[in-house]
Amino acid sequence: MLTFFLGPSGVGKSTVMKKLINNHGWRKIPVYTTRPARANDDKVSITPDDFLRRADLGHFFRYSKMFGEFYGNDKASILDAMSYSSSQHWCLDMKDSELKYYPYPNILKIIILPETFEQLSIQVRADNRSDFSRDLREELRSYQEMCVTDAKSDQHIVINTHGDVEETVAQSLNAAKFFFENKDERSKC
């Protein structure tokens, strides 16, 4: 059972996933990168040579180069998570531009949005974050548009109201419960 968490930088995706992992037994799809490790980073930093060796051996479901560094998602974990027989909840922080590579009906997509742009700006400043791929307001607008134009039964929108992580986790758990209880219907498609 695989859940992608989407949303603008700083909205709380990693915080929600950590709560699901630590308090509810979920597992995170390992993400390998050649980027140097950061404090509290959940990515696995490896050398460029090791990364390319693993890529040649087919260890990544998908990999790409962003901001001069390689990033790859562990293939075995993703295949296990997408298996209809999997009983383990897996999660992964996903960028909207990567979704096209995962067109599978048994993947839940949870989009986390802030209540307001101001809430997101305050959080980003508090985190001292500056590593954005594009303007924060434009990034938020992109996810808001995705909610309207791509509304599907496999997509759930969660509003991180006033940064209430516990409420966001509860909404995410409810969305996963509903989605995966109905997975047999999607497997017939």
How do the pLDDT tens digits run along the chain, 189 residues long? 899 998 887 888 888 999 999 999 999 999 999 998 877 777 899 999 999 999 999 999 999 888 789 999 999 999 988 887 778 899 998 887 788 888 788 888 888 888 888 777 777 777 665 555 457 777 777 777 777 665 555 567 777 766 788 999 999 999 999 888 876 554 444
Whether the CA torsion 15, 116, 142, 159 is positive or negative: it is positive
Q: Where are the domains of the chain?
A: 2-187
Phi, psi (rounded to 5 degrees) for 63: -140, 160
Q: Tell me how crowded residue 85 is: count the other CB atoms within 10 A of its CB.
A: 5
β-strands 2-6, 27-28: how paired? unpaired
At the top level of CATH, which class does the domain 2-187 belong to? alpha beta
